[in-house]
């Protein structure tokens, strides 16, 4: 099983400049590579409180400073982008990193990119369906042939370059709690990443079951498909310190986003309850985090686990300490229990 980290490169509204946050990001990815983390994902956003609207550019900067870690979007909002350009950008990253690039696509939990690039929210579902088909076609053949369709112009026998370093790019589909999204990923035979930010993770197991059932019915080998559990969490030298460090920034973000989306304010009591063995937050000391990862691996059988630790305005030094603990203590313990990735 692979252990990974993902982030949205949050910079706050006036706390850290985009320049500093992106430089910090490269340091985080470089350290993750040095301590043996398998994967680093970066989320695309188009808001003043996030620094990474151009994910492939930021990952390209890190690719020249790293040697082993896989580099991915988490996610690319494919619906509001050009799938040809997305493919070219990540193929370029793949060549720079000598085969370590991935694309993780999603419909977009944050939708600021739709009006920004002139897309209608009424087309939220059909945009993703159509552009994902184009992206998959690009991955299969050097020349693209695509008929005029609802959201794409016709492309006739046009080569798309550069090609990926290893012939094809891994394309993952990120899903939330929507059964239809899990079924689509399975039907297409694409790896699925399930994001969980609340509730009890075990309640999401039926989505994995639906995914594998849809894959099998479509003729894919479900046992060979990769899956990922993507969560919020943090690790420090003790469980109490991890909770004390992470709870404030985490609750501030959830309260701020909640004001936009109609959620109630986040409280420390809720945070502590969610950090328990059956809750959605993976917060604790190295031993506690290891045990929780292993317990959920037994439930879901995922092949990758990724954690968003730089959530809210966490001090960069504390994030770096957490990355080091994840790589030097948690990852080896998980690998010892399950075997190498």
CATH number (domain holding residue 129) = 3.20.20.30
Q: Is the pLDDT of residue 334 over 70?
A: yes
The CA–CA distances, whole Å, from 32 to 1, 195, 244, 325 equal 16, 21, 23, 10
CA-closest candidate to residue 302, choices 140, 129, 175: 175
Find the mean pLDDT for residues 157-182: 96
pLDDT in tens, 291-318: 999 999 999 999 999 999 999 999 999 9
CA-closest candidate to residue 92, choices 55, 66, 119: 55
* Residue-range definition of the domain harbouring residue 67: 2-338
Find the mean pLDDT for residues 49-70: 97
Confidence category of residue 340, pLDDT binned at 50, 70, 90? low
Query: For the residues of 195-236, what is the DSSP string, one character each?
Result: EE-SS-GGGGHHHHHHHHHHHHHTT--GGGS-EEEEEEEEE-
Number of structural domains the chain divides into: 1
Q: Residue 108's pLDDT is what?
A: 82
pTM: 0.96
Q: Residue 177's pLDDT is what?
A: 86
pLDDT in tens, 179-223: 999 999 999 999 999 999 999 999 999 999 999 999 999 999 999
């Amino acid at each position: 099983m692979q252990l990974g980290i993902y982030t949205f490169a949050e910079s706050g509204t006036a706390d850290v400049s985009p320049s500093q946050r992106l430089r910090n990001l490269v340091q985080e990815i470089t350290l993750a590579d040095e301590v043996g983390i398998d994967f680093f994902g970066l989320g695309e956003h188009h808001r003043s409180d996030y620094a990474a609207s151009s994910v492939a550019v930021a990952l390209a900067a890190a690719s020249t400073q790293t040697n082993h870690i896989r580099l991915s979007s988490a996610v690319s909002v494919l619906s509001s982008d050009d799938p040809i350009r997305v493919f070219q950008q990540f193929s370029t990253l793949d060549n720079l990193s000598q085969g370590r690039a991935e694309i993780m696509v999603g419909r977009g939990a944050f939708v600021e990119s739709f009006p920004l690039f002139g897309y209608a929210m009424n087309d939220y579902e059909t945009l993703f369906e159509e552009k994902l088909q184009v992206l998959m076609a690009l991955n299969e053949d050097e020349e693209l042939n695509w008929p005029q369709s609802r959201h794409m112009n016709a492309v006739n026998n046009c080569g798309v370059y550069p090609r990926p370093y290893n012939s094809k790019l891994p394309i993952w589909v990120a899903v939330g709690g929507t059964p239809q999204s899990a079924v689509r990923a399975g039907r297409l035979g694409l790896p699925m990443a399930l994001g969980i930010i609340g509730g009890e993770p075990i309640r999401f197991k039926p989505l994995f079951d639906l995914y594998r059932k849809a894959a099998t019915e479509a003729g894919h080998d479900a046992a060979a498909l990769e899956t990922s559990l993507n969560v919020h969490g943090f690790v420090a030298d003790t469980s109490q310190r991890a909770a004390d460090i992470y709870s404030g920034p985490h609750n501030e973000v959830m309260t701020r986003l909640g004001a936009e989306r109609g959620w109630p304010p986040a409280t420390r009591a809720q945070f502590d309850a969610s950090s328990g063995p059956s809750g959605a937050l993976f917060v604790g000391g190295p031993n506690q985090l290891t045990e929780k990862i292993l317990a959920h691996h037994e439930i879901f059988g995922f092949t990758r686990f990724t954690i968003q630790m730089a959530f809210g305005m966490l001090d960069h030094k504390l994030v770096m300490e957490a990355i080091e603990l994840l790589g030097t203590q948690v990852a080896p313990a998980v690998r010892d229990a399950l075997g190498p990735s």
